[in-house]
Structure 1
Amino acid sequence: MEVYSLSGPSGTGKSTSALEFAHQYGIEGIIDDGLLIVNGEKLAGTSAKFEKNTITAVRRAIFHDEAHQQAVIKALQEVDLKSLLIIGTSDKMTKQIADRLDVAPIDHFHYVTDIRTTKEIQLAKFIRETQGKHVMPIPHAQVEQNFFKRFVQKGREIFFKNKKIGETTIVRPDFHQETIDISKSVYLQVLTHELSKHNGITRFDIAQLTVDLMPSMTIVIFLKAPVTYDVREVVRGLQQQISDSFYLHFGIEPEYINVVVKGIK
């Protein structure tokens, strides 16, 4: 069996990208959070997301329980896969899982930064930290909903070259009870502060600010006279200043920052 590893910090979107990644590389099976997934459906195992706390969730994910370990080993032997993808938070974790499931050594190591953009990772982490949402790369119908009394919903159907290869389910596990609700007024205060302290602006108006997932904004500004500077450079510097400030405070960059130069004062 050819074994692949995909690792990256928690909440960076590994499970969201798992089905597409596996299909792209022609990988038949996936080990993710204690589950064996084949052809986009759960074949064996129990998800770590069913656990009540993070300690037992980690133990479940690395197949610490012998009965769980043996059940997945048996399923792997019966299905006779030619390739397998193991997902974890680090190379150390995926190697440990490979050892526990008797499929070591790992042949190929990949990382979430190889398959997701910086903005996609930022967004995934932001959603995890603020809303507590976790993704399972199996259909909604295969998730035992009594384990998730607080939150279970359908994710999205995954397509590769117009062919459906699976679907995801969004859950909020019991061990992830803390969420953060950021008011729109907080985004507005940070944006106002950054605009107020900029030396090249005499007046501004925030024409539009949306915060559905990633913040997006349109700002109308009046420049300081006399214009003895490169206007484009000033505006781009302002965009970068706002982007850096949002990343510092919220861990996410705005989806777009549109700046309209209305006049000179």
Structure 2
Amino acid sequence: MEIYALFGSSGTGKSSSALELAHRYKIDAIIDDGILIYQGRKAAGASAKYEKTKIQAVKRAIFFYHDQAEDVRQALRTLPIERLLILATSQRMISRIVDALGLPPVSHNISIESIKPEDEIKAARFVRETQGKHVIPIPRVEVEKDFLQRLIHSAQQILSPRKEIIGESTVVYPPFSGGRIQIYEQVLKKIVQHVCCRFPQVAQVHKTKYLFADLPRLHVSISLRLPFGASIPTCTMTIQQALYEELDYCFSILPSSIDFTIVSLEVQTE
């Protein structure tokens, strides 16, 4: 059995990247937070994401409990797995999982930073910290079968280039996640207004729209007042950079995109 390992700190988007990585390297199975996933379905184990405390969750994730570890070991002996991907927060944690399950040494160590851009990692952390969302890379129906009383937020289907289903992911809210932080839209609008007012070229801010469902995205509609011959792209890029830095400073948000719609343009001839 060939062992792959994907490691990175909590909330960096490892679970949401696992299915794409599995498809890329033709990986048959994934071990993530205490469960063995084979061909997109849970095969054995119990998810650490449903433990009540973080300590219990860590123990579950490293297969500290004998019955859980034996359940997964038995499945690993039975299933025709050629390549296995282990997800963990560190290489030390990966070593503990490998030892607990009696697996061969890791052949390929992959850090989340090597496959995911910094802005996406920071966006994933933002979603984890503010909304308490955790991803399990198995279909929603599999989660519901095991945890009928749990609240499932959404499910996302991952498709290969040939449009065949290679797996799904389910978003859940673990009891130990510590709740959610809410940022009011009006506060974000005030920040955009404040930043734009620093620039005399901005005559008016008309509308501000935010999307945080996936990656943080910002869309602003403005009117500009520019001297004749001034570059509109240069002006908007300067404002974009200022907004980017302000959102990062205030909320540790790195927007995936900041888009402008120029509603009107006043050209100054003098």
What TM-score results when the alignment is normalised by the length of structure 1?
A: 0.89
Aligned to 2:220: 218
Name the aligned partner's letter for residue 48 of structure 2: A
Alpha-carbon separation, structure 1, partners of 2:267 and 2:90: 53
CA RMSD, 1 decimal? 2.3
Cα deviation 1:50-99 (Å, max 9, x = unaligned): 10011110111011112211221121111142211000112221122112
Alpha-carbon separation, structure 2, partners of 1:211 and 1:39: 36
Aligned to 2:76: 76
Alpha-carbon separation, structure 2, partners of 1:74 and 1:146: 19
Cα deviation 1:153-210 (Å, max 9, x = unaligned): 3411111111111211111111113101111111111112212233xx1543222211
Aligned to 1:56: 56
Q: Structure 1 residues 28-37 or 10-19, which shifts more? A: 10-19
Aligned to 2:265: 262
Name the aligned partner's letter for residue 175 of structure 2: D
| Residue pairs, 1:193-208, within 5 angstroms | 193-198=194-199, 201=200, 203-208=202-207
Deviation at 1:105, TM superposition (A): 1.4
Secondary structure of the residue aligned to 1:211 is: strand
Alpha-carbon separation, structure 2, partners of 1:66 and 1:192: 57
Specify every segment of 5 or more residues in structure 2 that has no aligned partner in the other structure, as ranges. Answer: none
Deviation at 1:148, TM superposition (A): 7.3
Name the aligned partner's letter for residue 249 of structure 1: C
Aligned to 1:136: 136
Alpha-carbon separation, structure 1, partners of 2:49 and 2:201: 52
Secondary structure of the residue aligned to 2:110 is: strand
Deviation at 1:123, TM superposition (A): 2.8
Cα deviation 1:81-138 (Å, max 9, x = unaligned): 2211000112221122112111141110112223323333233222212211111111
Alpha-carbon separation, structure 2, partners of 1:150 and 1:30: 22
Cα deviation 1:32-58 (Å, max 9, x = unaligned): 000000000000000001100111101
Q: Structure 1 residues 126-135 or 232-241, which shifts more? A: 232-241
Name the aligned partner's letter for residue 258 of structure 1: F
Given that residues 6 and 88 in structure 1 are in contact (C-alpha distance below 8 angstroms), is that contact kept between their aligned partners in structure 2? yes
Against the structure 1 CA distance between its residues 150 and 228, is the aligned structure 2 distance closer, same or farther, given a 3 Å change threshold?
Answer: same
Deviation at 1:230, TM superposition (A): 6.1
Secondary structure of the residue aligned to 1:166 is: strand
| Residue pairs, 1:112-127, within 5 angstroms | 112-127=112-127
* Mapped pair 1:171 → 2:172: yes
Given that residues 50 and 174 in structure 1 are in contact (C-alpha distance below 8 angstroms), is that contact kept between their aligned partners in structure 2? yes
Given that residues 4 and 85 in structure 1 are in contact (C-alpha distance below 8 angstroms), is that contact kept between their aligned partners in structure 2? yes
Deviation at 1:217, TM superposition (A): 2.1
Specify every segment of 5 or more residues in structure 1 that has no aligned partner in the other structure, as ranges. Answer: none
Alpha-carbon separation, structure 2, partners of 1:64 and 1:32: 14
Against the structure 1 CA distance between its residues 173 and 245, is the aligned structure 2 distance closer, same or farther, given a 3 Å change threshold?
Answer: same
Given that residues 30 and 86 in structure 2 are in contact (C-alpha distance below 8 angstroms), is that contact kept between their aligned partners in structure 1? yes
Secondary structure of the residue aligned to 2:75 is: helix
Q: Structure 1 residues 201-210 or 126-135, which shifts more? A: 201-210
Alpha-carbon separation, structure 1, partners of 2:43 and 2:146: 19
Aligned to 1:36: 36
What TM-score results when the alignment is normalised by the length of structure 2?
A: 0.87
Deviation at 1:251, TM superposition (A): 2.2
Alpha-carbon separation, structure 2, partners of 1:68 and 1:52: 17
Aligned to 1:22: 22
Name the aligned partner's letter for residue 62 of structure 1: I
